[in-house]
Amino acid sequence: MRRLFAVSAVAFLLSTAPALADHHMAEKPLFDRLGGQPAVNAVVDDFAGRVLADTRINAKFAKSDAARLVANLKSFICSATGGPCKYTGLSMKASHHNMGVTQGEFGALVEDLVATLDKFKVPEKEKGELLGALGPLGPDIVESPSTATGTALPANFKPAPPLHTAHKPMKKKKR
Ligand code: HEM
C-alpha cells in the first residue's frame, strides 16, 4: 500500500512537472512586454497624429471627438493586449457603423500603426502579436471590399458623443 502511494505520488509529480514549469516560464502579457500603459499611451498618441494627418483616411474623423477617440483607443489597446484596463467605449461594429470604411482604408490605418511601432522600435514578435490581435476586427469595421482610399464620410454618419458631457453645464434655453 505504501509502495502504491509512493508510485502514484511520483507519477503525479511527473505528470504535473511540465505544467508547473510552463506556468513558471509563462510569458508576460503583450501589454507588459510592450512596456505597460506609458508605452501604450505613447504609441496611441503617435498613431493618432499619423492617422489625423493621413489624407487616405482622415476624412472619416471629421465629425469625431479626438479626445474621446484617443482615450478609448488607449484603453482598447490595453485591454486587447491583456492589460488591466476595462474598455468602456462602443463595440467595433457600433463605432464604425455607417462610416463607409473600405478595405483599402483599413490597410492604410494598419500601415500608420506599423510606422508608429517601427518608430518606437517594438520588436517584430510583439509587433506581429499586436497586428494579429487587431487584424480579425477588420470584418466589424470594413464596410466595403474596395481598395480605394480617401473616400468621403457618409452624411448620415453619427459620431459618438464627446466624453464627460454629463459634467458640462446645461445650455440655457432661449425664451
Ligand atoms: C483594427 C483597426 C481599428 C481599431 C482597433 C479601432 C478602434 C477604435 C476605437 C476603440 C474607437 C473608439 C470608440 C468609442 O469612442 O466608443 C474607434 C473610433 C473610431 N474609429 Fe476606429 N478602429 C480601427 C479602424 C478604423 C479605421 C480603418 C477607420 C477609418 C479609416 C477608423 C475610424 C474611426 C473613427 C472616425 C472613430 C470615431 C467614431 C465616432 O466618433 O463615433 N477606425 N476606433
DSSP state of 120: T
Q: What is the pTM of this model?
A: 0.85
Q: Residue 11 pLDDT > 80, yes or no?
A: no
Ligand 1 neighbour 151 (Cβ under 6 A): no
pLDDT (average), residues 37-47: 98
Ligand 1 neighbour 54 (Cβ under 6 A): no
Ligand 1 neighbour 90 (Cβ under 6 A): yes
Residue 109 in domain: yes
Residue 5 in domain: no
> Residues 57-88: pLDDT tens digits?
999 999 999 999 999 999 999 999 999 999 99
The total domain count for the chain is 1
In three-state form (DSSP H/G/I as H, E/B as E, the rest C), the secondary structure along the chain is CHHHHHHHHHHHHHHHHHHHHHHHHCCCCHHHHHCHHHHHHHHHHHHHHHHHHCCCCHHHHCCCCHHHHHHHHHHHHHHHCCCCCCCCCCCHHHHCCCCCCEHHHHHHHHHHHHHHHHHCCCCHHHHHHHHHHHHHHHHHHCCECCCCCCCCCCCCCCCCCCCCHHHCCCCCCCC
Q: Residue 145 pLDDT > 50, yes or no?
A: yes
Q: Residue 118 pLDDT > 80, yes or no?
A: yes
pLDDT (average), residues 18-38: 80
Distance from the CA of 167 to the center of ligand 1, in angstroms?
A: 24
Residue 124 in domain: yes
Distance from the CA of 14 to the center of ligand 1, in angstroms?
A: 49
Ligand 1 neighbour 61 (Cβ under 6 A): yes
pLDDT (average), residues 9-27: 54
> Residues 125-140: pLDDT tens digits?
999 999 999 999 999 9
Ligand 1 neighbour 96 (Cβ under 6 A): yes
Which CATH number covers residue 150?
Answer: 1.10.490.10
Q: Which amino acid is at 162?
A: P
Task: Check residue 2 and give its pLDDT.
Answer: 53
pLDDT (average), residues 146-170: 87
Task: Check residue 33 and give its pLDDT.
Answer: 98
Residue 98 in domain: yes
pLDDT (average), residues 110-134: 98
Which range marks the domain in which residue 69 is found?
Answer: 28-154
Task: Check residue 113 and give its pLDDT.
Answer: 98
Distance from the CA of 64 to the center of ligand 1, in angstroms?
A: 10
